[in-house]
Structure 1
Amino acid sequence: MSRSAVRGFSAARLRRYRQARKATIEDLADAAGVSPQAISAWENGRAAPTPELLARVASKLRITVADIVPIPDDELSLSDRRAHAGLTQSRAAESLGISATLLGRIEKGKKEYDLSRAQQLADLYGVDVDMIERSWQRDRERRKAIATRFEDS
């Protein structure tokens, strides 16, 4: 699976939403501007779409990315929120005027919380700044938990 694939992507949900719209794989592929082979691979779990392609497909199905990526809100990381907004890390970083490396460090919990940066992320991702703060803190806590595994007991 591609590094840019969306965590939590549900192939079964994509198939169910497509079928509920009475669309064939070819219909959805044509509408979203992707190949039928890509849609088929996604629905069969052989591949997963990038955030941008998933957002395009979700839009054509008149659903949100979150409908196809069933991660509870209290488990969403910053990278999940970015994916829900249909953005790859490089596109989001470009929109924010920062490097993809810096955004990656933020998403991995390696940067302290910054309200002005959080507001930029919230605006870009179309969510409340409190959601960004909770995800940011969750990412930092995950990072700390991983680090403690290497401490002597």
Structure 2
Amino acid sequence: MPARLFDAQALLLARRDENRKQSDVAEEVGVSAARVSAWETGRSVPDPEKLPRLAAAVRRDLDQLFPRNGRPDLADLRADAGYSQSATRALTGTRTPGPVAAAENGQRRLSKEYEQRLADAYGVSVDALRRAQERSFGHDVPEPGESSSAQTTSAETGSGVLPATLAGKIAYLLDRMPAPVTDAALAARGNDLVGAEVLTEDLVHDLRTGVVASAPDEVLRALAEALDTTPLMFKSDDAGVERVIAETLVLRSQVAAIAARGGAEAGLSAELLAFIRKEVSKAHREASAPHDHKG
């Protein structure tokens, strides 16, 4: 994921603008004045976890002085909180930074017992920590309420490709829900819609975070109901089917955006609804019609 952009000239100008000496900055960051000089002349680059203190030392906002073009992963959250990877041993209560290192490298997800501790230390919610973890595993999960953009998913750029993993697909769908929803609420909704106790809060959490990578059909059906989609979202390995699902979800988002623009005049017209229904019906008839085969 994108590291923060370090600009030696911007650091130098900010320090001078605040009439601060290199030794003053060095003392606040916990390094030598020679190290600050090396940063300002571009001879070396500070470790990511030093950037928050460095920005504070020159009285600048971290995002403005050292911007990041993208969403943070686990390593970014840690660095923004000022922790080195080795320092996370004290946060997790482990002898090595192994649990955090494995999650940051996309090798093994964090145990639930570490999530709240790390979220508190990093100054984020557990859900934000979990979204960052998904990015460490290669799933560029959007933030809740983030508008559609070329950066969110490949489906939204027109390629019609869904995330490959079950956890990625769940994250993809959660982003399209009108408001954030808890694992417990998803489990309750899915169970209510299928009329059976199939989902639990822990199971939804494990599926969403990738701890559990697959599930029986009845679980996928309840999960699909809770997320307002089709079980094919999770079960199909047909690229054509996945493309139709992805593009339908994008269409649904676009239709909702039109309807939300306000009132009957700016909202979703009867003509547009009729057109959508007509095209879907036409596609269904064409797909169902017998094809001539000439021998």
Residue ranges of structure 1 left out of the alignment (5+ in a row): 1-6, 146-153
* AA matched with 1:88: S
Q: 97, 100, 110: which one pairs with 2:97? A: 100
- CA distance in 2 between counterparts of 1:128 and 1:16 reads 34
Residue ranges of structure 2 left out of the alignment (5+ in a row): 140-162, 165-295
Superposed CA offset, 1:57-108 (max 9, x none):
3333334544443114x43121111111111001122222122122110111
How far is the alpha carbon of 1:31 from its aligned partner?
4.8
Q: Choose between structure 1 and 2 for higher RCO, CA contacts under 8 A separated by at least 6 residues.
A: 1
- CA distance in 2 between counterparts of 1:21 and 1:100 reads 37
Partner of 2:31, secondary structure, is coil
Q: Which has the larger radius of gyration?
A: 2
- TM-score normalised to structure 2 length: 0.40
Is 89-98 or 12-21 further displaced after alignment? 12-21
Are 2:61 and 1:57 equivalent residues in the alignment? no
Are 2:76 and 1:77 equivalent residues in the alignment? no
- CA distance in 2 between counterparts of 1:139 and 1:96 reads 18
Equivalent residue number for residue 126 of structure 1: 123
Greater percentage in helix: 1
Cα RMSD after superposing both structures: 2.8
* AA matched with 1:134: R
Aligned length: 137
Q: Summarize the Cα distance change of 1:103–1:13 in structure 2 as closer, same or farther, 3 Å threshold.
A: same
Q: 91, 94, 98: which one pairs with 2:87? A: 91
Q: Summarize the Cα distance change of 1:105–1:46 in structure 2 as closer, same or farther, 3 Å threshold.
A: same
* AA matched with 1:108: N
Q: Summarize the Cα distance change of 1:133–1:52 in structure 2 as closer, same or farther, 3 Å threshold.
A: closer
How far is the alpha carbon of 1:109 from its aligned partner?
1.5
- CA distance in 1 between counterparts of 2:136 and 2:49 reads 22
Q: Summarize the Cα distance change of 1:17–1:8 in structure 2 as closer, same or farther, 3 Å threshold.
A: same
